[in-house]
Amino acid sequence: MVVADGPQSPFCPIDPGRCTLLGVTAVDHESLAPPFSPLAARAALLLLPILATLLASCERHLSGGTEPGSAQRCGVVAGGAPASATLSKRMAAVQAPGFPRRAALVVADFNLGTAVEQAALAKFDLAMLGLYAGWSQNGVSIQAAAQALKTLKPSILVGNYSILSEAYYDTHPDARTTKLNAMNWWLRDKAGKMVQWTSSYGAWDINITAWAAPDANGQRYPQWVADWFDSQYFAGSSVFDFWYFDNVMAHPRDRPASWKLNGANQNSTDADVASAFRAGHAAEWAEARKLEPDMLLLGNVDSDLSSVEYKGQLNLALLECLTGQSWSIETWGGWAQMMTRYIGVTANLAPPKVAVFSACGGATDYAMLRYSLASALMGDGYFAYSGNGSYSSAPWYDEFNVNLGAALQPAVTAAYQKGVYRRDFQNGIVLVNPGGNGRQTVTLGGTFHKIVGTQDPATNNGQAVSSATLNAADGLVLTR
């Protein structure tokens, strides 16, 4: 996982063992690590300019269809290359008209090997899976699990998780561990000790920059691990629509380390270190595009992706836990800053330029659910709600049953009345009252209906209304 710059706390990401081992007493991995002497200075970092690519040709078809290809036909991808027919269909599927766009983020201990859980997840429009290399359950493999979702709902978009900047050293070792040890690609300080940005997950950080030496094939870790992830998840099958990259940070968050391998430590926030770190991520994405040219790339990001290394390289951006946690942008920065990030990041994506608004409130905090969903519906993104910040389930809420249809106006950036925001859709309207705005009553200019729900029947009671009263940090979905 990755959180935006600001107050932070450990949170359970998606990788085997992390969610179950947090209570285990920590081991001093530095003392167990093999000795390592800092290498002589490397050649200067070579960075290829990474240019943003705008959509060259896009013909919208507002036919109301939900199958891939019915919403938008896009002609180019990142870097200006023509999109294949398969990739164009996936771009169109992402932009298919109709709201809300419902997403789910689940980890390996979600029982995806069972028919019941497959059916629950297939109700969503986009599924971000966290299945690790070698995963299987009830005889169901990674690709078979994805195919099961597609069989139940052919239009669902499915992707799987990977992470570049860290790996396990002595817990859950795999081929990555072996390669990292052989090449000494681990990030270390000037004393040769391994470095980690957080001790919560038992993983250790990797020097993903061009200061690290290439292997005998000329690959550094970003290219090598892209090949490895592809061989474990995607190769030989077209079932996955997107490749999910975690921890796409604007700069690393490690303590001082010898990134340049010159016998000295550098700060993670140093401009050249941050640039080299971002270039490492971009190198992995370039390799991924060569390996899987028909797949979209989704990154879990902590910035607006406006840096030269990131701009225009990813197709989709996950904004993890924008609400609901102490480190959420809405908590420490406010609603306006959260929305600036949510709507603004799309300008720095490659087509189809779509964000996923992730919220992490209480599982039965229905006001937080409405507030987060309504905020997401002010833009064109997908919405994921992880109850209690857990990725082990995919909760379904009454508001997810509503078919609002297509949006009748672009993303909303100005208040409707009294600081309350409104967006109109074919089959209804959505209101959101930002946190700190106080309890407000607004007129609607017509009669609408509250939805009929069972989770919060006091709010969703089916009543006809021509005005609505909202507490601060709440939202409301109304139908026509």
CA gap 365, 85 in Å, rounded: 42
Q: What pLDDT is stored for residue 75 in this prediction?
A: 55
Instruction: Encode pLDDT of 456-480 as tens digits.
Output: 999 999 999 999 999 999 999 999 9
Residue of 112, 13, 16, 99 whose CA lies nearest to 386: 13
Residue 267: count other Cβ atoms within 10 Å of its Cβ.
15
Q: Would you list the domain boundaries of the chain?
A: 29-404
- The residue to which tokens 């109709």 are assigned: 98
Contact 18, 10 (CB under 8 A): no
Instruction: Encode pLDDT of 195-220 as tens digits.
Output: 999 988 889 999 999 999 999 999 99
CA gap 404, 50 in Å, rounded: 38
Q: Is 189 helix (H, G, I), strand (E, B) or coil?
A: coil
Evaluate if residue 294 carries a pLDDT over 80.
Answer: yes
pTM of the model: 0.86
pLDDT band at 65 (very low <50, low <70, confident <90, very high): very low
CA gap 316, 9 in Å, rounded: 25
Dig out the tokens for 274 from the structure: 């941050």
* Chain centroid, CA 454 distance in Å: 30
Instruction: Find the mean pLDDT for residues 141-160.
Output: 97
Instruction: Encode pLDDT of 74-132 as tens digits.
Output: 455 676 667 899 999 999 999 998 999 999 999 888 899 999 999 999 999 999 999 99
> In the CATH scheme, what is the homologous superfamily, with its name and number, of domain 29-404?
Aldolase class I (3.20.20.70)
Characterize the bridge pairing of strands 166-168 and 203-205. Answer: antiparallel
